[in-house]
Amino acid sequence: MLYESYKIKNFVLKNRAVMPPMCMYSADEQGYANDFHLVHYGSRAIGGVGLIIQEATAVSPDGRISIHDLGIWDDSHIPGLKRIVDVIHQNGAVAGIQINHAGRKSKTENPIAPSAINYGGDYKAPREMTKKDIKEVVESFKQSARRANEAGYDLLEIHGAHGYLIFEFLSPLSNQRDDEYKDGTLFLKEVVEAITSVWPKEKILAIRISAYEYVEGGVTPKTISEAINSVKHLGIDIVDVSSGGNIQVKINAFPGYQLDLAKMVRRETKLPVMGGGLITDLKLADHAIGSNRCDLVYFGRVLLRDPYLILNHADDLGIDIEFPEQYIRGKK
């Protein structure tokens, strides 16, 4: 099933394989894309991945994870991002982008967060957001979604995982406010409403979430599913299920360790999901889809090692995949 096509709205993915967002820290200090990004994303599209989701792209300068994140906070970023979209499309994949505000996990000068609680390590203590800050960040998500549409992306993914700003609001471990935003779903709802006011209904809207925090009192598949259910009517099409990242805790990670989390979110939300986690074996990925744990499978680190994973290992599943014309001579 991994090599079967999959339709979301009017977009048809040629297979169920996804390249998830992975930070490359390769933009210049103003957030502009360069030739590295064209090669990086273009090669995975040539390599047969059905859906490519661009790395966390910052909605504001202070919302960057690092000073070398890609940016989408200014209209001047659009032409460079459009070049990435074009190279993905030209090589047969659907083009997605993840937009993000890093919150307290930003290593810029002025990190902000729902509450003034430090992430730890060498991260700076964040300033607790005022309601004015919240409104400004919501607007930055809205304008970034507009720019993503203008750049030509097919899918927009809201980063609500890994301890970045949206997830910080959703987790009681990082949100200890005493106003209405103590209910983190309010901030999530405002962000989704702002985005859907400019993101076309015919395009795909995804959200990435951490379904489990691996620590008592943190987010669980049940609580995160409740949060998703509170906003899915606004236009969420698919959920990208990950875990962890908000609290520094050791995770027992193994191939497919997040698949059962994906299955639980799929069951509780009745939405299609992307699942994964250290998957390198295409047979495991195929089984994950066949056993209804997820609808799409993301391959992260292995695609950094092998951009042509989907082409090179189709025969593991007995699939005779069509190679790009330029590479036919290299087919096994």
Q: Which domain holds residue 300?
A: 6-330
The answer as to whether 27 is a domain residue is: yes
- Say how many C-beta atoms besides its own lie within 10 A of residue 180's C-beta: 9
User: What CATH number did the domain enclosing 64 receive?
Assistant: 3.20.20.70
The answer as to whether 294 is a domain residue is: yes
pTM: 0.97
Number of domains the chain contains? 1
d(CA 163, CA 126): 13
Average pLDDT over residues 301-328: 95
User: pLDDT-derived band of residue 332, with 50, 70 and 90 as boundaries?
Assistant: confident
135, pLDDT greater than 90: yes
The answer as to whether 25 is a domain residue is: yes
The answer as to whether 264 is a domain residue is: yes
pLDDT tens-digit profile of 93-102? 999 999 999 9
The answer as to whether 130 is a domain residue is: yes
pLDDT tens-digit profile of 230-273? 999 999 999 999 999 999 999 999 999 999 999 999 999 999 99
The answer as to whether 1 is a domain residue is: no
User: pLDDT-derived band of residue 64, with 50, 70 and 90 as boundaries?
Assistant: very high
Tell me the percentage of the chain whose pLDDT exceeds 90. 99
pLDDT tens-digit profile of 1-42? 999 999 999 999 999 999 999 999 999 999 999 999 999 999
Average pLDDT over residues 269-292: 98
Mean pLDDT of the chain: 97
> pLDDT value at position 165?
98
> pLDDT value at position 84?
98
Asked whether the beta carbons of 212 and 244 are under 8 A apart, the reply is yes
pLDDT tens-digit profile of 72-115? 999 999 999 999 999 999 999 999 999 999 999 999 999 999 99
pLDDT tens-digit profile of 44-62? 999 999 999 999 999 999 9
The answer as to whether 62 is a domain residue is: yes
> pLDDT value at position 230?
98
The answer as to whether 161 is a domain residue is: yes
